[in-house]
Chain A
Amino acid sequence: MTQVRPYGDTLDDGAVQLSFTLPIPWSEAADEAARQLAVKMGFTGVAVAEGRAIASGFSFFVIYARTPAAIDVSAVHAPSATSDALSLEQVDELIAKRVGRKLKVVGACIGTDAHTVGIDAILNMKGYKGDYGLERYRGFEVFNLGSQIAVEDLVRFARERRADAILASQVVTQKGSDVANFTALAELLEAENAREGVVLIAGGPRVTNLLAAELGYDAGFGRGTLPSEVATFIARRAAERASA
């Protein structure tokens, strides 16, 4: 099966659920406006299951509909950065054998973002969900610069310490600030000819490996990532470089 459609209760029925708000008072005409809008989006069999006022001048809709669109899944590629994670001991062993020294890892929440929960979960000794953070590994020397670090400061620090890996974290995504900051970091590293030598990693709840690749990063890690998955990626990349 290559052409795939959404599945409600029958193969190829194309069933989807969606909800949205319109900035108009609710009325039966508002329900009909929502239905016609869904038709304009390309849906068929549109049923407005729920339509009601949620404030004066705003109406909320829940809609079930069908889409004629299909996707050839055999043509879709989104490589994962988290496959085959090693254990802490295996990562340390890999680094010891193939690199022969501690890898320096610098992490920061860049730009104005002050939400360090993600970077802390990956780097702090305690880790996340019982999976120890990178500080716990013998193979890593970790520098967690914390929140609201300007990309210039991060790059300067990484150069001074001769970092092997840079972890940039972004939680706030409003108006594309995350992508702007990630891009600024990648561009600054390129401009300073400092990109080649480091494993550059993006992290945050809305980050995907695909997005990170588009932005010129080696990998991207999203919500639910375990520290060992990041550790494995860095160790393997460093090991490849050491052998090259």
Chain B
Amino acid sequence: MELRLDHGAVARARRLAAAIADPIDAFIARHSTLSVERAVARLCGVDGVDADGVPLPNRLADALPARELGMARVLGAAVAETGRTPQQIAEAVAGGEPLPDPARTPETALRAALRPFANDGLARIDANRRAREALLARLPQDEPPLLYVIVASGNIYEDRTAAVAAAEAGAQIVAVIRSTAQSLLDYLPYGATTEGFGGTYATQENFRIMRAALDEASERLGRYVMLTNYASGLCMPEIAATAALERLDMLLNDSMYGILFRDINMQRTFVDQHFSRQLNARSGIIINTGEDNYLTTADAVEQAPAVLASQLVNEAFALRAGLPPAQMGLGDAYEIDPDLEDGFLFQVAQAQLARQIFPDAPLKYMPPTKHMTGDIFKGHLIDAMFNLTSVMTHQTIHLCGMLTEAIHTPFLADRALALENARYVMSTARHFGDEIEIKPGGKIERRAHDVLHGAVRILERVAERGLMAAIENGTFADVRRPREGGRGYDGVFAKDPAYWNPFAGAHAREPVGA
């Protein structure tokens, strides 16, 4: 099936999205953040915590004599002066030693000193990317929609059990939901964790535990099971770096979510997002964007144009970070009130519209949450309609709806029932969408047309004011956020002309150690 689209409007929407992204991109190019610099330290091999449990990348960043120059410059100078590794230098800093003044070391010497460590980090990322490609070739996934489930017990070992059980029940992607407080932590927790609320902390060791378990399950099941986490909040770049080092396959990555719903400073998160996406591009990680949040916090029929507008802006930002469309898991959700007559038609219109406007993007489709109740029987039925919409409109990443969505974080059986529901609907209606035609001028097509033109109007308004001013004025989700307010603003700084980051533009450079 195919919607007849106003291609002029689509082109205009893309031009407007570009006009919105460009000034932000110019701002990003002039700035860095402490979390970007900590990610640089991690990519150069710095890991671990001090005696008080403070991560060494934080100790290093806090000890920088001039952050405007960047972590790499100082670290390179320290390596050149001492002959130590970045990890040894971080340990020494944690022990009370100061970092050297980078001005003492010639430019070429400090770059040459750090380069081998930076290259080791990139080589590991590249090796992970090749390993994923080889695994996908040898252990091919079932055809999309790829069934995605979440685990969220708070205990990584219970999560591991749940993840393997879900994989056996048909899950192709497992996401470990983070503890609710983590997005606001200005550091990455360390080690295996067994306590969390509403989720499990994202740590490098937790990533390793899940990756190993899912690799084992992948071999046994003969299909590669993907692992997802969240590069959002105050540690976006560090999560992106760590995920690249541990071969995660997808990351939630959308700065608008943090700005609007977590009150994270917009400048901070725009800069963080850009560097994160460069790393994602290099590592082959697919991003998932958070458009579903516009629908869960307001009326889903009204907000549909905002979803498309956000998808287009996310695409523009992703392109500017070197992320190809094949790695853009642009978001949408099935959130229209089930009591609305023909609501299903509206859902199909929106999902098909996104499919046609972003033909190469692995679209991420989120399940009903807002109108789910304690009535699990009705909930299971609404999920089935969501599943039908997804397979009809060829969505790629399909987050399975849980019948107990409104009640608790999923039980093991809830996931199995959700996967069974999705597998049944998607099998019985596998080629339904290819066999039917959308009535020209009918309800579905008219709705898609309205949504597209609504998105153009939003983009016009935002382009006119500028994105930052639009956020300040409450254009998105009725939430106002000041340019210099919110969490993490003190970690944003303008770069010195001599600033150096060996991983900036990582996506565009030659592979290392192939």
State in angstroms the CA–CA spacing of A223 and B406 once bound together.
Answer: 9
The minimal Cβ–Cβ distance linking A6 to chain B, given in whole angstroms, is 16
Contacting residues, chain A, for B180 (C-beta < 8 A)? 112-115, 148, 172
Contacting residues, chain B, for A177 (C-beta < 8 A)? 197-198
Residue-wise, chain B 135-170 has the 8 Å CB interface mask toward A (1 for contact) of: 000000000000000001010000000001110110
Contacting residues, chain A, for B181 (C-beta < 8 A)? 112, 114, 148
State in angstroms the CA–CA spacing of A177 and B198 once bound together.
Answer: 9
Closest to A181 in B: B197
Closest to A115 in B: B180
Closest to A56 in B: B168
State in angstroms the CA–CA spacing of A126 and B297 once bound together.
Answer: 11
Assign chain A's interface to a size class.
Answer: 20 to 34
State in angstroms the CA–CA spacing of A113 and B199 once bound together.
Answer: 11
Within 8 A of A (CB), among B169-198: 169, 179-181, 183-184, 197-198
Determine if B183 and A114 form an interchain contact, defined as CB atoms under 8 angstroms apart.
yes
The minimal Cβ–Cβ distance linking B151 to chain A, given in whole angstroms, is 12
Known: A21-B413, A54-B412. A174 touches B169 (CB 8 A): no
Determine if A148 and B184 form an interchain contact, defined as CB atoms under 8 angstroms apart.
yes
Q: Is A60 an interface residue (CB 8 A)?
A: yes
State in angstroms the CA–CA spacing of A58 and B179 once bound together.
Answer: 26
Q: Is A44 an interface residue (CB 8 A)?
A: no
Within 8 A of B (CB), among A37-84: 54-58, 60
Q: Is A232 an interface residue (CB 8 A)?
A: no
Closest to B339 in A: A129
Q: Is B374 an interface residue (CB 8 A)?
A: yes
Number of contacting residues on B, CB 8 A? 33
Within 8 A of B (CB), among A131-184: 146-148, 172-175, 177
Determine which of A21, A54, A55, A124 lies in contact with B164 in the assembled complex, contact meaning CB atoms within 8 Å. Answer: A55
Known: A148-B184, A223-B373. A114 touches B179 (CB 8 A): no
State in angstroms the CA–CA spacing of A83 and B91 once bound together.
Answer: 63
Residue-wise, chain B 391-428 has the 8 Å CB interface mask toward A (1 for contact) of: 00000000000000011110111001100000000000
Q: Is B298 an interface residue (CB 8 A)?
A: yes
Determine if B412 and A223 form an interchain contact, defined as CB atoms under 8 angstroms apart.
no
Within 8 A of A (CB), among B364-403: 370, 373-374
Q: Is B101 an interface residue (CB 8 A)?
A: no
Q: Is A229 an interface residue (CB 8 A)?
A: no
Determine which of B154, B370, B411, B417 lies in contact with A174 in the assembled complex, contact meaning CB atoms within 8 Å. Answer: B154
Q: Is A116 an interface residue (CB 8 A)?
A: yes
Determine if A55 and B409 form an interchain contact, defined as CB atoms under 8 angstroms apart.
no
Contacting residues, chain A, for B166 (C-beta < 8 A)? 55
Known: A172-B180, A205-B406. A117 touches B297 (CB 8 A): yes
Closest to A111 in B: B197
Closest to A222 in B: B374
Q: Is A36 an interface residue (CB 8 A)?
A: no
Q: Is A31 an interface residue (CB 8 A)?
A: no
Determine if A175 and B154 form an interchain contact, defined as CB atoms under 8 angstroms apart.
yes
Closest to A20 in B: B413
Determine if A147 and B478 form an interchain contact, defined as CB atoms under 8 angstroms apart.
no
Contacting residues, chain B, for A58 (C-beta < 8 A)? 165, 412-413, 416
State in angstroms the CA–CA spacing of A120 and B166 once bound together.
Answer: 34
The minimal Cβ–Cβ distance linking B320 to chain A, given in whole angstroms, is 29
Determine if B408 and A173 form an interchain contact, defined as CB atoms under 8 angstroms apart.
yes
Closest to A120 in B: B297
Closest to A224 in B: B373
Known: A54-B416, A116-B261. A175 touches B197 (CB 8 A): yes
Contacting residues, chain B, for A148 (C-beta < 8 A)? 180-181, 184
Report which B residues bind A (CB closer than 8 A).
152, 154, 164-166, 168-169, 179-181, 183-184, 197-198, 261-263, 296-298, 370, 373-374, 406-409, 411-413, 416-417, 478
6 further A-B pairs in the complex, CB-CB below 8 A; given A174-B198, A174-B408, A223-B373: A55-B165, A56-B165, A117-B297, A124-B478, A174-B152, A206-B407
